[in-house]
Structure 1
Amino acid sequence: MSKSASPKYTVPGLSTHDGGVIIDLLRMRLHALNDLSLTLKHVHWNVVGPHFIAVHEMLDPQVDRVREMADDTAERISALGGVPEGTPGVLVAERTWDDYGVARADAIAHLGALDLVYTGIIEAHRSAMDEIGKSDPVTEDILIEQLRALEQFQWFVRAHLESSGGTLATANSRTERQAAKAAKADSKR
């Protein structure tokens, strides 16, 4: 199924038009989740420094849960009459964000960058949830459950970046590299 095409059928109670809109929104969520699982593994493999083991071990359960989210999303696309496409080529061709920009780096630098990654995914998930909630509470419920976990994972990341006064080292960062640099600089204070 090409993007923006209505499916030939969908779940009972939804029009094929609404099913198509939901499929398109879920397509981008699937791409984001697949990208996130790969990014988390990239960080897992490339984190160094004194916080290495804490971050290294924190990320594997996140990867596992994000992969489950991708599977749930792909299966919902299928249930709605769509075709979930999870190949790297489709992900890269359709995504609207740049590739993760931090290579081998200190744990705090990676966590700073991941804070921005999670913010982008959470904001896009919330936007999709708001749109989907107008016509399909079942898919909305899937996104709510995913958001619960994604927000918890971001909290785990932010716990490393937050000062005792409640400010985030990444607060004014606009790119992953800026966030990585800000987090690393803040950790040296």
Structure 2
Amino acid sequence: MATSTTPKYTVPGISTHDGGRIIDLLGRRLHALNDLSLTLKHIHWNVVGPHFIAVHEMLDPQVDQVREMADDTAERMSALGGVPQGTPGALVAERTWDDYSVGRADAIAHLGALDLVYTGVVEDHRAALAEVGKIDPVTEDLLVGQLRSLEQFQWFVRAHLESSGGSLSQARARTEREAARSAERGAEG
């Protein structure tokens, strides 16, 4: 992400230097959440197959909640004296991950790929949480609440992918396409 300048002001009890660090961390979280909401909508529109309706209807509430998370994140950045960048150009220029790579596909394939997406978002949220927890309990609380929901959403996804023996067919996949293929194979066999 582009390095932002130290804000001219921030919330009482936090230095402008620390406020700037938190703003930068939240800027990356904002991009991840905006990207996630778009990815969830992409999947919602492109899912097919016997599990279509279950997945299609499961995703809309996730989209709505992730959009609320993005709004809360941007508002926290503003309260800290930052300038949230919510434009597509800023997201694309500053993100550190590739675009979602699965188009029209079976529901289980999309869920296999989405599990990897959620893993990335959750891991990065946890890393940000570890850093802000040392500085700002309010931002820490915001991220904890978001993590609670994100982990629940991933659990919903994984419930479709888990075998009766408790394993995930796509657990070793490194790419979204690989996860999609592994999940489809797991559902077939």
- What TM-score comes out, normalization by structure 2 length? 0.98
Secondary structure of the residue aligned to 1:160 is helix
Deviations 1:140-162 (A, max 9, x none): 00000000000000000000110
Name the residue aligned to 2:39. 39
Return 5+ residue gaps in structure 1 as ranges. none
Aligned: 1:25 with 2:40? no
| Secondary structure of residue in 2 paired with 1:83 | coil
* Alpha-carbon separation, structure 1, partners of 2:62 and 2:27: 21
1:25-104 aligned at under 5 Å gives the runs: 25-104=25-104
In the TM superposition, 1:2-21 aligns within 5 A as 3-21=3-21
Detail structure 1 runs of 4+ shifted over 3 Å in the superposition.
Answer: none
> Does residue 149 of structure 2 align to residue 149 of structure 1?
yes
What amino acid is the match of 1:117? V
* Equivalent in the alignment of 2:160: 160
Measure the CA separation in 2 of the matches of 1:44 and 1:170: 20
Q: 1: distance between equivalents of 2:77 and 2:3?
A: 12
Measure, in 2, the Cα distance between the counterparts of 1:82 and 1:155: 33
List aligned pairs for 1:118-137, cutoff 5 A. 118-137=118-137
Cα distance in structure 2, aligned partners of 1:163 and 1:91: 36
Q: Distance in 1 between matches of 2:78 and 2:178?
A: 38
Deviates most, 4-13 or 42-51: 4-13
> In the TM superposition, what is the alpha-carbon distance from 1:71 to its structure 2 partner?
0.2
CA distance in 1, matches of 2:20, 2:61: 32
Aligned match of 1:188: 188
Output the CA distance in 1 between the equivalents of 2:46 and 2:142.
31
Cα distance, 1:66 vs structure 2:
0.2
C-alpha distance in 2, partners of 1:169/1:93?
Answer: 33
Shift in Å, 1:178: 0.6
Structure 2 CA distance for aligned equivalents of residues 52 and 125 of structure 1? 29
> RMSD of aligned C-alpha atoms?
0.6
Q: How many corresponding residue pairs? A: 188
Q: Shift of residue 169 of structure 1? A: 1.0
Deviation at 1:3, TM superposition (A): 2.8
Stretches of structure 2 that go unaligned for 5 or more consecutive residues are none
What's the offset of the Cα at 1:12?
A: 0.2
Task: Provide the C-alpha distance between the structure 2 equivalents of 1:10 and 1:131, rounded to a whole number of angstroms.
Answer: 18
Alpha-carbon distance in 1 for matches of 2:181, 2:86? 32
| Equivalent residue letter for 1:48 | V
Compute the displacement of 1:182 (Å): 0.3
Task: State TM-score, norm by structure 1.
Answer: 0.98
